[in-house]
Amino acid sequence: MKRNHLPHYSDHKWPWPLLSLVASALFLLLILTLTLSHGRYSDASSSTARDFYGVHRDFGGGDGNARLGLPKLPRLAYMVSGSRGDGSRVRRILQAVYHPRNYYLLHLDLEASDDERLELAKFVKSEESVIGEFGNVMVVGKANLVTPKGPTMIATTLHAVAILLKKAADWDWFINLSASDYPLMPQDDILHIFSYLPRDLNFLEHTSNIGWKENHRARPIIIDSGLYHSKKSGIFWAKERRSMPASFKLFMGSAWVILSKPFLEFCVWGWDNLPRTLLMYYTNFLSSTEGYFHTVACNHKDYQNTTMNHDLRYIRWDTPPKQHPISLTVEHFDDMVLSGTPFAHGFAKDDPVLDKIDEKLLRRSRDHLTPGGWCVGKPGLHKDPCLVYGSPNFVKPTLNSRRLEKLIVKLLDPENFRVKQCK
Ligand SMILES: *[C@@H]1O[C@H](CO)[C@@H](O)[C@H](O)[C@H]1NC(C)=O
Ligand SMILES: *[C@@H]1O[C@H](CO)[C@@H](O)[C@H](O)[C@H]1NC(C)=O
The SS3 of residue 254 is coil
pTM, two decimal places: 0.85
From 201, 304, 423, the mutation candidate for ligand 2 (largest count of ligand atoms within 8 A of CB) is: 304
> Of the candidates 338, 374, 364, 397, which has an alpha carbon nearest to the alpha carbon of residue 53?
397
Within 8 A by CB and 6+ apart from 318, the residues are 326
Res 352: pLDDT = 98
Q: Just give the CATH number of 74-209+247-370.
A: 3.90.550
Task: Show the low-confidence residues of the chain (pLDDT under 70).
Answer: 1-68, 381
Write the pLDDT tens digit of every residue in 129-177.
899 999 999 999 999 999 989 999 999 999 999 999 999 989 999 999 9
Given a contact cutoff of 8 angstroms between Cβ atoms, the answer to whether 374 and 40 are in contact is: no
Res 69: pLDDT = 76
**Ligand 1 site residues, Cβ closer than 6 angstroms:** 81, 153-154, 157, 176, 178, 255-257, 289, 293
Res 232: pLDDT = 84
What single letter denotes the amino acid at residue 262? P
Of the listed ligands, the closest to the CA of 204 is 1
For residue 302, which atom of ligand 2 is closest to its CA? Answer: 13
Res 62: pLDDT = 39
State the SS3 of 321-384: CCCCCCCCCHHHHHHHHHHCCCEEECCCCCCHHHHHHHHHHHCCCCCCCCCCCCECCCCCCCCC
Kindly report the protein residue whose alpha carbon is nearest to atom 8 of ligand 2: 305
CA angle 156–308–137, rounded 5-degree value: 40
From 305, 306, 308, 417, the mutation candidate for ligand 2 (largest count of ligand atoms within 8 A of CB) is: 305
Res 43: pLDDT = 26
Give the Å distance between the CA of 421 and the centre of ligand 2: 11
Domain ranges of the chain: 74-209+247-370
